[in-house]
Structure 1
Amino acid sequence: MMFPSDMENTSEHLLNDSVGNLSLEGVENGDHPFLTDAWLVPLLFSLIMLVGLIGNSLVIYVISKHRQMRTATNFYIANLAATDIIFLVCCVPFTASLYPLPSWVFGDFMCKFVAFLQQVTVQATCITLTAMSGDRCYVTVYPLRSLRHRTPRVALIVSVCIWIGSFILSIPMFLYQRLEDGYWYGPRQYCVERFPSRTHERAFILYQFIAVYLLPVLTISFCYSVMLKKVGQPTVEPVDNTHQVHLLSERTISIRSRISRMVVVIVVLFTVCWGPIQIFILFQSFYPGYKVNYTTYKIKTWANCMSYANSAINPIVYGFMGASFRKSFRKTFPFLFKHAVRDSSVASRTANAEIKFVATEESHTERK
């Protein structure tokens, strides 16, 4: 997560490594160097924001518009899309502004609020992904029992609890974020984290790495290791050798595996996209030989771009891997799918089967 403090820490090295040939007159006039990343990174962030807002808004719109899409899993997906939208709108523009601007210009409250909201949305994303994985594990291991407990209402309650917990756990970011004076080609103001001591700072960074990244990844990995052992077993045990019973069993396994693969891809993308910045912050805080220079600045910038891109990638995964989403997109925007009419009957059967998850009875449960 890039805040003006990163700019402040690298300013001297940027001067020595990248702009050493600036004239003394420019320095005296307070003109700061305009580097390539001053326009390239905001351009990339703008693209991420545009794609992410359109994609995540469509996901929420499709789920809310079509009653058959209001399943437990899709409620978690809608919650994930909501966290992405809030993150893109409330955090990305401010972070992007740090590259062309030499200092923080949005005031003390926004300094606290942006950092706090960024922490809240990342925390909510991690917990939501963990809840999704637990939900998929539960329905895979206990397909019949889950019919009574996996309802959209339960998913909504869990999502609300996730947001409340994320707000509470992120309070330290609001308390310890503040404006401080600095100097880089003239007096500047920077939005920085200032903990009571170095020990408090390291403790919070370690907590953030464990709670926001490591623990969710380990929990999710455990859930899917359990699922992999179970997924090959038929949900409906054949009581005879009729062809229809075997087809039902194979179809149920295929449907469940397809949905689980989509959730796996979402989780893997989160792990890959958010891993670099989480590991970098941990390395920056605990490695004694860490040095602030233009190279580490560029690495951190790349890591931030990776983490922000995750919010734009998720809706693409839903569109490509979720048959029910493809079907609902076609119904919502028929003019975009004029040549896909022939596939509608097949897609309809797949979507309906996917919503049922493990048995036809679940469709009645999901609509209560």
Structure 2
Amino acid sequence: MSGITVNLDCEECLSHVANTTELHLHPDLDEDDELLKYIWREYLHPKQYEWVLIAGYIIVFFVSLIGNSLVCFAVWKNRHMRTVTNYFIVNLSLADVLVTITCLPASLVVDITETWFFGNTLCKVVPYLQTISVSVSVLTLSGIAQDRWYAICHPLMFKSTAKRARKSIVLIWVVSCIIMIPQAIVMECSSLLPELTNKTSLFTVCDEHWGAEIYPKVYHTCFFIVTYFAPLCLMVLAYIQICHKLWCQQIPGSSSVLQRKWRTFQCSAQAPAPGESVRVRTSTVCAEIKQVRARRKTARMLMVVLFVFALCYLPISVLNIMKRVFGTFKNTNDRETVYAWFTFSHWLIYANSAANPIIYNFLSGKFREEFKAAFSCHCFGQGQKQTKRTRTRTSTDSRKSLSTQVNNMDSVSRISDQVV
């Protein structure tokens, strides 16, 4: 997360290369070739699990790029999808696209070769962009949780609008770019074997260089708290209250609530016609039931997104704290296992970017409809007609469903009026 390389500071793992280098530091070409072949065979050639990792990176790259692009396109294309929550979702997708394009290829090369090939400038830029995307993602999820908390638990305290959402998104990017500047300052290229510097760029690492030992401990502790632990705790508390409001409290639809609302309507109405009174009551209750169900679906989708984010970023957060704060891996005896954990945790970060569009597809009917329309159209005209037919059919079905609900509620109301 903070820093794209996995420099475990393991002297034992490079001792053999150092000894071999001392024996072959002669201008003889054959000896240099022999040394490079040894390095390739023992350190650079992908191992079995790394071939699996390469395939996983390729799959994640295309799924993330295509899926998040479709999310942005769906909201941009359809005016009815330009809600406050969807604005934040688009911002989350943009952060995922950023990290996928700029950081995933470099991370794959570094994890496989254990070498930074891209120079000192990109050594500062790539980790900086990566940490910005992490900050943008967690702040966006926090903004979504706050918006849903106000809308459901305290609707009269704060009125959320699209204009405020856009301002919040701009603020999120500005804050993320500012607070992650130290990450760009401390990243520098260095060679694990200085005697090979003029011969090859192998074993060049892009890592943090702090002035004193206390600085990385303070920075990474604050980084963990600000970008993971504290926002996650606040979001969990917000969604607990949202769940309690939507699922645990009485909502419109139960008989007691219906009768209580209908008595209120009957007392407050100024002598309307009987049929009109029932129709007004049932329409109001149906609208409330529909709103609660829509909010439940949205809350369920957002909670799954939050859970996947917490799960994917947990390994790298813990490993970074163990490495940077406690220095756990300085003298490790099982370097291969530790290195495998780091490479897998890096892959999980990018897998989270690919997972979000899949979650939207399964848990949001609107996004699923747009994704299907994008993939099913073989030509522009045919796809446009099919999309219009689908939307018309959906609109007709929803009207039929609503009228059916109203008729059913009319029947229930008559029975309830007779009982009351």
Q: Same fold (TM over 0.5)?
A: yes
1:81 matched to 2:96? The reply is no
Q: Matches of 1:182 and 1:346 in 2, distance apart? A: 64
Q: Matches of 2:34 and 2:114 in 1, distance apart? A: 15
**Matched-pair contact (CA < 8 Å) for 1:116–1:174:** yes
Question: Out of 211, 217, 233, which is 2:226 matched to?
Answer: 211
Structure 2 unmatched ranges of 5 or more: 17-23, 25-30, 198-202, 264-280, 403-420
* Secondary structure, aligned partner of 1:219: helix
Q: Matches of 2:307 and 2:343 in 1, distance apart? A: 21
- Give 1:28 deviation, angstroms: 4.9
Structure 1 residues 8 and 281, CA gap change in structure 2 (3 angstroms): closer
Q: Matches of 1:286 and 1:173 in 2, distance apart? A: 16
User: CA deviation digits over 1:321-340, x for unaligned, max 9?
Assistant: 11121233345555389799
Where in structure 2 are the equivalents of 1:1-368 lying within 5 Å?
A: 1=1, 5-7=5-7, 9=9, 12-13=12-13, 28-31=34-37, 32=39, 33=42, 34-36=45-47, 37-143=49-155, 149-183=159-193, 186-187=196-197, 188-232=203-247, 233=249, 239-240=261-262, 242-287=281-326, 290=329, 291-292=331-332, 293-335=335-377, 341=390, 344-345=393-394, 349=398
* Secondary structure, aligned partner of 1:29: helix
Q: Matches of 1:342 and 1:160 in 2, distance apart? A: 33
1:19 corresponds in structure 2 to none
Larger Rg: 1 or 2?
Answer: 2
- Give 1:288 deviation, angstroms: 5.8
> Which deviates further from its counterpart, 176-185 or 196-205?
176-185
**Matched-pair contact (CA < 8 Å) for 2:2–2:183:** no
Q: Matches of 1:184 and 1:45 in 2, distance apart? A: 31
**Matched-pair contact (CA < 8 Å) for 2:221–2:325:** no
- Give 1:255 deviation, angstroms: 1.1
User: CA deviation digits over 1:231-277, x for unaligned, max 9?
Assistant: 14467786316444433332221111111000000000000010111
**Matched-pair contact (CA < 8 Å) for 1:276–1:303:** yes
* Secondary structure, aligned partner of 1:191: strand
**Matched-pair contact (CA < 8 Å) for 1:73–1:132:** yes
* Secondary structure, aligned partner of 2:192: strand
- Give 1:82 deviation, angstroms: 0.2
- Give 1:134 deviation, angstroms: 0.8
User: CA deviation digits over 1:182-241, x for unaligned, max 9?
Assistant: 229944422110111111001111011101100111010110111122114467786316
Q: Matches of 1:13 and 1:347 in 2, distance apart? A: 68
- Give 1:143 deviation, angstroms: 3.6
Structure 1 residues 3 and 154, CA gap change in structure 2 (3 angstroms): closer
Structure 1 residues 48 and 330, CA gap change in structure 2 (3 angstroms): closer
**Matched-pair contact (CA < 8 Å) for 1:14–1:294:** no
* Secondary structure, aligned partner of 2:211: coil
Which residue type is aligned with residue 43 of structure 1?
A: A
**Matched-pair contact (CA < 8 Å) for 2:115–2:204:** yes
Structure 1 residues 5 and 72, CA gap change in structure 2 (3 angstroms): closer
Structure 1 residues 348 and 181, CA gap change in structure 2 (3 angstroms): farther
Structure 1 residues 235 and 252, CA gap change in structure 2 (3 angstroms): farther
Structure 1 residues 134 and 14, CA gap change in structure 2 (3 angstroms): farther
> Which deviates further from its counterpart, 328-337 or 302-311?
328-337
* Secondary structure, aligned partner of 1:35: coil
Q: Matches of 2:69 and 2:195 in 1, distance apart? A: 41
Which residue type is aligned with residue 29 of structure 1?
A: L
**Matched-pair contact (CA < 8 Å) for 1:39–1:100:** no
Q: Matches of 1:223 and 1:85 in 2, distance apart? A: 27
- Give 1:141 deviation, angstroms: 1.2
**Matched-pair contact (CA < 8 Å) for 1:62–1:328:** yes
**Matched-pair contact (CA < 8 Å) for 2:5–2:111:** no
Aligned residue pairs, count: 343
- Give 1:144 deviation, angstroms: 5.6
Q: Matches of 1:317 and 1:165 in 2, distance apart? A: 27
Between the aligned residues of both structures, percent identity stands at 25
**Matched-pair contact (CA < 8 Å) for 1:8–1:182:** no
Structure 1 unmatched ranges of 5 or more: 17-23, 354-368
Which residue type is aligned with residue 160 of structure 1?
A: V
User: CA deviation digits over 1:103-141, x for unaligned, max 9?
Assistant: 212111100000111110001100000111111111111
